[in-house]
Structure 1
Amino acid sequence: MNKEKKVRAYTNIALIKYWGKRDEKLFLPMNSSLSLTLDSFYTETSVAFDDSTAEDRFYLNDALQDDKATAKVSRFLDLFREEAGIQTAAIVKSTNFVPTAAGLASSASGMAALAGAVNLASGLNLDKTTLSTYARRGSGSATRSIFGGFVEWQMGTGSDDSFAVKVDDASWDIGMVTIVVNDKQKAVSSRVGMKNTVATSPFYPGWLTATAIDLENIKTAILKKDFEQVGAITESNGMKMHATMLGANPPLSYWEPDSVRAMQAVRELRQLGVPCYFTMDAGPNVKVLCRLSDSQTIKNYLSNIFDPTQLIISGPGKDIEEITD
């Protein structure tokens, strides 16, 4: 049995959204995107190639997973095994410190951590940019979780140049408050919702045009450390993505009544002079981009509406990192 390698990867929240694939197999996106990696949500995954086992075994949160879940992991491992010339089965153990499939991007940290661990266990030791192209094959948003801070996923022209690059380490008083409206698995997966939106929404072409402009503008705002502009673009871009879903056939909405209450509360906070901006991914949970120094004030205000256990403060997360016990 080869030495077990363990990696931690942090999840990310897209500020400029990824919504739509131009290649389903290679997970090539229809547009470039930009995210903030968060320190409060992460996955730790270990990989060991083991000659004594005939087939891959996958444990998630200490529970042995079924054939379907294991097959997905095996296909991902095969990308590395093929490159490294390894035929051995692997034992994969993953612990999610993120509610799975609840719109909190557990797939991003999960597949990034798996990519990082198998990269080390296989001896390939790929650089992080190249590793992000492998992570992408497991989950599009995992591309960005290879890096910390503000991260751009460049759509590229093909598989080799569709990768993540760090834009900024976000060390200038950047934070996020996550409002967990519902931590249960959502009824319509991101993959299904995304595919139907691209195929049927008349708003989708306009979304692609607008998002390319939003991306350039937010990168300029980050460079200038203009928090209010970063926030305004974030909020606008997220709502445009959800508008494309409402225009799909059949229409799709991930919002719940508490999602709307959360968005209204953020607007009220702004009127009170606290700069903060909301965004939502493919799920009901609302994320509030803020200055980290304002995060407790925001949490206190939101605690009048939501249970404090539903409110999680995050600072910027780091690059993936090896965990040595």
Structure 2
Amino acid sequence: MTVATARAHPNIALVKYWGKADAASNLPATGSLSMTLDIFPTTTTVRIVDRDLDRVVFNGAEREGTVRDRVVRFLDHVRLLAGREDRAEVITENTVPSAAGLASSASGFAALAQAASTAYGLALDDRSLSRLARRGSGSAARSVIPRFAVWHAGSDEQSFAEPVQAPPIEMVIATVDAREKAVSSRDAMQRTAMTSPFYPAWVTSTAQTLESALEACRSGDLERLGRITETNALRMHAAIQGSDPSIRYLTPRSWAIFDAVAQLRGEGVLAWATADAGPNVCVISPPEHTAAVAERIGALADVVIARPGPGVRLQETDA
């Protein structure tokens, strides 16, 4: 096959990935737990072409610079695995707000991993595909997996995502600001690890937190999982703010949503807030409480409801 199209969705971490044990291979300092969404898909087509250079098109515009460089490095790794040198055209349509803390790189590189590996003739199982997607963006390892995923830390062979069971959960996503953030996740992660005095404690506590979260998943304890989710997010943002110079992703409107969620819990609505590296806030709740959460949070930001979604999938392609 010389052309392949794949679709993937972003994932939101309940136990966060923040910090690398090895930057070259995107090996995480700790494991993490996530929910793959059923909204905001990324669709990528990879076509093998007879030309000297790779071509990268993103949302209708040909890209150069950092975006193209990341894609080409990823394609180089796929070519190495496949034992081929052919160049490719990569065409991506992305519906996730890019670089806004809503996991656009996760869906993007999961889709690219599936499309590129197929176009170059590699037949990868989910574990191998997750390891490959991780090379492009760490959290992409989780977008390969449907619904809920745990991404393991460890060596290159050990660091992949696989499915886990979780209590019934939906997610209200509140978009506070869809603009590209001033400091990328990659740069902020590096600065946190190098300069934040809270980073070592973050790594230690998150390893313990993940075990507790997995226990909550196994027992179906949504309230315990919710508390872990919110606390873990706040610890991550505390570590980030401890960087020098400090990085602050959460805005006053972000904090207002956290406060509104706490108020909802006081009224008997089960809801817990989390936020990736950006100002936008996601609120998990059981399906029967999602509408109440969306109504309250909708007064503070644009909201959309997400449910557990599919893993990466090949799509029909017009040759």
Secondary structure of residue in 2 paired with 1:133? helix
Q: What is the percentage of aligned positions where both structures have the same residue?
A: 44
1:228 paired with 2:223, answer yes
Q: Distance in 2 between matches of 1:21 and 1:44?
A: 27
Q: Deviations over 1:242-295 (max 9, x none)?
A: 111222222221111110111111111111111000011110000101112322
SS at match of 1:252: coil
Per the alignment, in what secondary structure is the counterpart of residue 41 of structure 2? strand
Contact 1:280 1:286 in 2 (8 A): yes
Describe how 1:227-266 pairs up with structure 2 within 5 A: 227-266=222-261
Once the two structures are superposed, the pairs formed by residues 63-102 of structure 1 within 5 Å of their partners are 63-102=61-100
Does the Cα contact within 8 Å between 1:173 and 1:293 map onto a contact in 2? no
| Equivalent position to 1:118, from 105, 116, 119 | 116
Structure 1 residue aligned with 2:164? 167
Q: Which runs of 5+ in 2 are unaligned?
A: none
Q: TM-score, normalised by structure 1?
A: 0.94
Q: Which stretch has the larger CA shift, 223-232 or 289-298? A: 289-298
**Aligned to 1:244, what secondary structure does the other structure show?**
helix
Moved more, 25-34 or 296-305: 296-305
Root mean square deviation of aligned Cα: 1.3
Amino acid at match of 1:12: N
**Equivalent pair of 1:211/1:237 in contact (CA under 8 Å):** yes
Shift of 1:67: 4.2
Distance 2:239 2:256 in 1: 21
CA contact (8 A) 2:174 2:298 kept: no
Of 60-69 and 38-47, deviating more is 60-69
Q: Deviations over 1:57-97 (max 9, x none)?
A: 11111111124422221110111111112211111111111
Instruction: Pick the aligned partner of 1:315 from 303, 307, 318.
Output: 307
Alignment of 1:11-160 (within 5 A): 11-51=10-50, 53-156=51-154, 158-160=155-157
2:184 matches 1:189: yes
Contact 1:84 1:123 in 2 (8 A): yes
Q: Distance in 1 between matches of 2:162 and 2:242?
A: 32
Q: 2:194 maps to what in 1? A: 199
The one-letter code matched in structure 2 to 1:6 is T
- CA drift of 1:304 comes to 2.7
Q: Which amino acid aligns with 1:229?
A: R
Equivalent residues of 2:2, 2:120 under 8 A apart = no
